[in-house]
Amino acid sequence: MKAKFLYLLLIFVICSYSPEAFSLSFSGHYRNFLVYSKTRLENKEYYLDNNRLRIEAKGGPWESFSYNIQYDNNVIFGDYLTSREFMAYEAFSAAMPESTRWILDHNIKKEDKLRWNHSIHRAYATLRYKNLDLKLGRQRVSWGKGWFWSPLDMFNPIASTAVEREDRKGVDGALLTLSSGRVASYSLLYLPQREAPESVALRLVRQAGSYDLAFSAGRHMERTFAGIDFAGYIGDGGVYGELVSIEDYRGDQKVNLLLSGNYNFESSLYIMLEYFHNGGWSAPWMGIDYSGEDYAGLQASYDLTPLTKWNNFFIVNLDDRSFFFTPRIVSSLFENIDLSLGVQTFGGNRKGEYGRLENLYYTDLKWFF
């Protein structure tokens, strides 16, 4: 672990030696995510304060070569860290197989109400030759189209109730993409694994009129998948969908379907609807599992002022009638500081997937530099 960090530090030093030659640029952000809720096991109130400093270095000495390195330093404190619920979560996470080849995170300090660690969030280089791109290293592979759910997002999945949806765990490997003008691309992905067989997948994308059509297939974390997805417009409204067959651990093929539509009104009101049929999709290595077969999701947002947006997210499990609802206000306090205030509420069937969860209140502050 220490050797990997020294190696990446050496890259920083070399690149910093001649910024003009390497067209090096630095940026990043500080995030404070403060949570208040109750534990399910003990029914005790708790708080959790998550602080993250992310520094990003990127550049490229030549037109055919570029790089991106993102380093995170995290300090988490709060009485939630002493709860049985968190201890169970830590034990579960430790038992799950890693979905990456290299371990690029390290605990600096661990106490009852404190966790301090640092990690490499992204570290990849991109080589370009004419219409051929090769990306090597820790990266995000985004092949899905969905917002709440995306059965094609096998490599960087995220829970449907996640607050920070744009931040995904990366994978380690090589992604080769051949572009054929503006109408087609062909991708081949190879991911060596640390605790599972290597992953291989391919993706073919083609443009047909105003629609992007794609076929993807491969094997990841010992599961074979194949599917199609599309994205386009009907009038002024956007539509997209995914149809994916996934082989479960027993060797049975499970079909998953996602359909979605969205519309932007002139008043700044934005509406998005999603339907998800879960034929057996899950990502246990990321702690993601769904108990129902059919789900519906709604996103509605409105600009209260040019600098303040009101977001609403609603999910219902159509089988057990439990639901998740979160209103959130996002405001730009300054040019480089954003503040979000939100609450995650759960209701419906108290024994259902969402109804058994406790409400959660949070503030989310980001300072970009």
Q: Which of the four pLDDT bands, split at 50, 70 and 90, describes residue 6?
A: very low
Does residue 76 fall inside a structural domain? yes
Per-chain mean pLDDT for the chain: 90
Model confidence at 3, pLDDT cuts 50, 70, 90, reads: very low
Residue 19 pLDDT > 60: no
Question: Within a domain: residue 263?
Answer: no
User: 199 pairs with which residues across the strands?
Assistant: 191
Percent of the chain with pLDDT over 90: 73
- Domain assignment present for residue 26? The answer is yes
Q: How many domains does the chain have?
A: 1
Question: Mean pLDDT, to the nearest integer, of 197-225?
Answer: 93
Q: What predicted TM-score, i.e. pTM, was given to this entire model?
A: 0.86
As a whole number of angstroms, the distance between CA 95 and CA 297 comes to 31
Residue 156 has pLDDT above 80, yes or no: yes
Of the candidates 172, 292, 283, 285, the one whose C-alpha atom is nearest the C-alpha of residue 225 is: 283
Q: What is the mean pLDDT of residues 232-255?
A: 90
Is a pLDDT exceeding 80 seen at residue 131?
Answer: yes
CA distances to 6, 25, 277, 313 from 256, in Å: 43, 42, 6, 22
Predicted confidence (pLDDT) at residue 53 exceeds the cutoff of 80: yes
User: What are the start-end ranges of the E strands in 248-347?
Assistant: 253-264, 270-277, 282-283, 288-289, 294-305, 308-317, 323-334, 337-347
Residue closest to 74 by CA, chosen among 27, 116, 34, 30: 116
pLDDT at residue 183, rounded to an integer: 77
Residue 277: pLDDT above 50? Answer: yes
Residue 92 lies in a domain: yes
Q: Is residue 21 part of a domain?
A: yes
The model's pLDDT over 78-97, given as tens digits with 9 standing for 90+, comes to 999 999 999 888 888 777 77
Per-residue pLDDT tens digits for 334-363: 999 999 999 999 999 989 999 999 999 999
**Which single residue is written with the structure tokens 């490499």?**
120
Q: Tell me what pLDDT residue 204 has.
A: 96
* 209-238: average pLDDT: 93
Spatial distance between the Cα atoms of 54 and 70, rounded to a whole number of angstroms? 7
pLDDT of residue 4: 52
- Residue 339 maps to a domain: no
Q: Is residue 362 part of a domain?
A: no
- 20 Cβ contact partners less than 8 Å away, ≥ 6 residues apart: none
Q: What is the pLDDT of residues 281-321, one digit of tens each?
A: 877 777 788 999 999 999 999 999 999 999 999 999 999 99
| Res. 7 pLDDT band, cuts 50 70 90 | very low
Over range 264-270, report the average pLDDT.
Answer: 96
Residue 11: pLDDT over 60: no
pLDDT above 90 (res 8)? no
Residue 287 lies in a domain: no
Q: Residue 21: is its pLDDT beyond 70?
A: no
Average pLDDT over residues 220-241: 94
**Which residue segment(s) compose the domain that 70 sits in?**
1-121
**CA 354 to CA 348: how far, in whole Å?**
8
